[in-house]
Amino acid sequence: MDKTNKMANELQDEASYKKKIGITIILFGWIAILISVIFSIHFGASHVTYRTVWESLFSYNDNNSAHVIIHDLRLPRALAAVFVGAALAVSGSLMQGMTRNPLASPSILGVTAGASFCIALAFAFFPDITYGKLILFSFVGAGFATVLVFGIVAISKGGNTSVKLALAGTAISALFTSLSTAIGLKFNVAKEMNFWYAGGVSGIQMNQLKYAIPVIIIGIVISIFLSRSITILSLGDEVSTGLGQNTRIVRILGMIAVLLLTGAAVSIAGMIGFIGLVVPHITRFIVGIDYRYIIPCSAIIGAVLLLAADILGRMINPPFETPVGAVTALIGVPFFLYLARKEGTNL
């Protein structure tokens, strides 16, 4: 009995400690993001001092070429990395919590590939499409892929398993990627699609961000609003229903948030994989299993991680750039294989 009480106290102390870490990250994580953004703006083929960065942000001079480079190229790139990283990480956290599947993420389950497929259709049939409408195509593609993957798993024998969901997602991803390639070649839009295949935040303009950032913020707000319900849902449907929770409504709202986050992220940055897979696991290891801390902390860690990956992509082979999607894959593929081998991981 004493041993049981001791273990319970140790678990309670550990949960309390992780809760404090989560609160610390939420309160001070913006400092890490700010430092990463400043370093991202500073680093590049053209040397820019930190003083110039500061002056360009608070005393902009359009006659100064360094200020123009920062405002037109580097600042949008850094902001895109922040919001795309946060969007993909939160989306992955929601998917893993709702499905109780450690392998769930937008890239693994084909959501990003579906969004890219509809973007390919938009380029092929509506060459002069506005960016606002392009986001809508991205949402439709993400939703279509999600329905396909979960529909395939639902009608399969043996029910839902981690590996089965990952295999269905991989198959759908391969299908949509192949179709996107065929459309690109057939309609001569392969050049436009190369950016979405590689995944990256270079060349992003402020006019793109003004559409995508509000959508991402709405998705994150919905996710935070659902965080307590996702914590209960991650314990299982029976427990969730027993506590009076409407699991169907929670899943519908959760999937709406996933589609908003993934659709907006893919529309500006393409198919950046594994942020949504790796970050939620790192976050749970740090702050525990309470999604009230997992979701906001995932947003912060995802933003910093994608900024770091983008900076690393510029450092690997200067003055040429390695696509950030390739950098995140170097981290994510081994992690995915490890999780696939350890299928029974608890969420």
Q: Is 287 exposed, middle or buried (0-12, 13-18, 19+ CB in 10 A)?
A: buried
In the DSSP assignment, the letter for residue 72 is I
**CA 139, chain centre distance (Å):** 14
Q: Can you read off the two tokens belonging to residue 190? A: 């392969």
Q: Does residue 248 have a pLDDT over 90?
A: no
pLDDT tens digits for range 52-94: 888 887 888 888 888 888 888 899 999 999 999 999 999 999 9
Q: Does residue 1 have a pLDDT over 60?
A: no
| Mean local confidence (pLDDT), 222-247 | 86
Give the whole-angstrom CA distance, residue 197 versus residue 117.
10
Q: Which residues of 182-213 are buried (b: 16+ CB within 10 A; e: fewer)?
A: ebbeebebbebbebbbbbbbbebeeebbebbb
What's the confidence (pLDDT) of residue 222?
Answer: 96
Give the whole-angstrom CA distance, residue 8 versus residue 16.
12
| Mean local confidence (pLDDT), 262-272 | 88
**Mean residue pLDDT across the chain:** 85
What's the confidence (pLDDT) of residue 347?
Answer: 44
pLDDT-derived band at 158 (thresholds 50, 70, 90) equals low
Q: Can you read off the two tokens belonging to residue 165? A: 């969901």
Backbone angles phi and psi of 110, in degrees to 5: 80, 5
Q: Which residues contact 305 (CB under 8 A, 6 or more apart)?
A: 85, 89, 275, 278, 279
Q: Highest mean pLDDT range out of 6-20, 86-100, 314-328? A: 86-100
What's the confidence (pLDDT) of residue 213?
Answer: 94
pLDDT-derived band at 346 (thresholds 50, 70, 90) equals very low
Q: Highest mean pLDDT range out of 35-39, 43-47, 189-193? A: 35-39
Give the whole-angstrom CA distance, residue 20 versus residue 266.
33
pLDDT tens digits for range 181-200: 888 888 887 777 777 777 78
- One-letter amino acid at 227 equals S
Give the whole-angstrom CA distance, residue 342 versus residue 328.
21
| Mean local confidence (pLDDT), 306-314 | 91
Alpha-carbon torsion angle 118, 102, 285, 252, nearest 10: 60
Q: Does residue 166 have a pLDDT over 80?
A: no
pLDDT-derived band at 214 (thresholds 50, 70, 90) equals very high
Residue 7: CB atoms within 10 A of its CB come to 10
pLDDT-derived band at 8 (thresholds 50, 70, 90) equals low
Give the whole-angstrom CA distance, residue 45 versus residue 42.
10
Please provide the DSSP assignment of 281-320 as one string: HHHHHHH-S-HHHHHHHHHHHHHHHHHHHHHHHHHHSTTS
Which residue would you say has higher pLDDT here, 94 or 7? 94
